[in-house]
Amino acid sequence: MSLAQRISRAPEAIAGITILICLMLVALSAPLLFPGDPLAISGTPLLRPFVDATHWLGTDRLGRDVLAGVVHGARTSLLVGLVSAAAAIVLGSVVGTLAGFAGGLLDELLMRVTDAFQTVPGFLMALAFVSTIGPSLMVVVTAIALASWTAPARLVRAEVLSIRERDYVASARAIGMHPLKIAFREILPNALPPVLGLSAIIVAGAILTEAALSFLGLGDPNRVTWGGMIAEGRAVLRSAPFLSIIPGVALVLTVLGVYLAGEGLVEATSRRSRA
C-alpha cells in the first residue's frame, strides 16, 4: 500500500490537509482577492460583519477591512511558520548529524550549546531577540528558528548514533568516502523521517509564537498579522468582539490543520514501517 493510500485512510490527515490547502489557496490568492493595501482605510469604522456588502466581515476601529486583513494575515502566518520551521530543522539536522557522527569533543561541545539554548524558554528567547534587534519579518523568522532548532538536533543525534555503525556506513568508510559525505549523504537521509514527524509541531509553534509577538506589538509593522488584529480588537472587546474573534478563529484553524496533517502523516509512516 502506497503512502498516499495510507494517508487517505487517516481521517485526521484528510481533515488537516484539506484545511491547509484551503488556507494556502486563500493566502496565494490574497493579491487577487484584495489587491490594495490591507492596512489602508476603506470604509466606516466598526462596521459589523454581514452588514455592508463591500466589507463582509466588517471593519476595525480605523475603517480597515477585516476580511482583507484575515486573508493577507494568512500569508504572513504560513510564511513565518513554514520558513522558520524549515530553518530550525536544517540547523538542528546539521548540528545533530555532526554531533552524532563525530562524537568525542565535538559532540560534547555541540550538546552543551544545545543545552544552553534549551535552558531558555523558546518564546522568551524569541521575545528578547526581536526586542533587541527590532521587529521585522526576517528578524521574527530568525528568532523563532533559533528558539526551535534544539529538538530536531537532539532527535537527529539520537538517530545518527543508532545508524552510524550499520554495514552500509562501514562500507562507505572502507571505500574511502569523505566523512562529511558519509554523514550527510548516507546517514542523514535515513535519520530524517522522525524529524519530519516533529515538523508539524514546530510549524504550529512557530505560527503561535509569531501571533504572540505580533500581539505584543513586536511583529512586522508593515504586514498584517492575526496576532496584531487580535491585539487591535482588545480596546473594543465589549462593543466589537468580532475584531478579535475572527482572526482568533483563523489562527486556531491553521494550528489545528497543521497538527492534524502532522498526526496523519506520522500515523501513515508508522503503518508503513510496521508493514
Farthest CA pair distance, the chain: 74
pLDDT band at 126 (very low <50, low <70, confident <90, very high): very high
Segment among 54-68, 206-220, 256-270 with least mean pLDDT: 256-270
Cα–Cα distance measured from residue 116 to residue 109, given in angstroms and rounded to the nearest whole number:
11
User: Cell numbers of 221, please?
Assistant: 509593522
Question: So what's the pLDDT on residue 4?
Answer: 65
Query: Cα separation of 184 and 152, whole Å?
Result: 15
Using the predicted structure, report yes or no on whether residue 263 has a pLDDT greater than 90. Answer: no
CATH hierarchy code of domain 3-274: 1.10.3720.10
Rounded to 5 degrees, what are φ and ψ at 65? -70, 125
How would residue 153 be classed by pLDDT, with cut points 50, 70 and 90?
very high
Rounded to two decimals, what is the model's pTM?
0.88
CB of 262 closer than 8 Å to CB of 197: yes
Q: 28-32, 196-200, 212-216: which has the minimum mean pLDDT? A: 196-200
Mean pLDDT, range 23-31, rounded to an integer: 92
Say how far apart CA 18 and CA 257 lie, in whole Å: 8
User: Is 249's pLDDT higher than 90?
Assistant: yes
| pLDDT confidence bin for 57, thresholds 50/70/90 | very high
Place of cell 544545545: 114
The answer to whether residue 3 scores a pLDDT higher than 60 is no
| Averaged pLDDT, 28-54 | 90
pLDDT value of residue 99: 93
Mean pLDDT taken over the chain:
89
153 within 8 A of 198, measured Cβ to Cβ? no
Residue 134 pLDDT grade (very low, low, confident, very high; cuts 50, 70, 90): confident
Alpha-carbon dihedral angle through residues 258, 217, 86, 142, given to the nearest 10 degrees: -170
The pLDDT of 132-155, averaged and rounded, is: 92
Q: Write down the residue that cell numbers 498584517 correspond to.
A: 224
Task: Give yes or no for residue 274 having a pLDDT over 50.
Answer: no
Every domain of the chain and the residues it spans: 3-274
The pLDDT, as a whole number, for residue 174 is 87
Average pLDDT in the 70-83 region?
A: 92
Check residue 7 and give its pLDDT. 67
pLDDT score, position 10 = 73
More confident residue, 11 or 126: 126
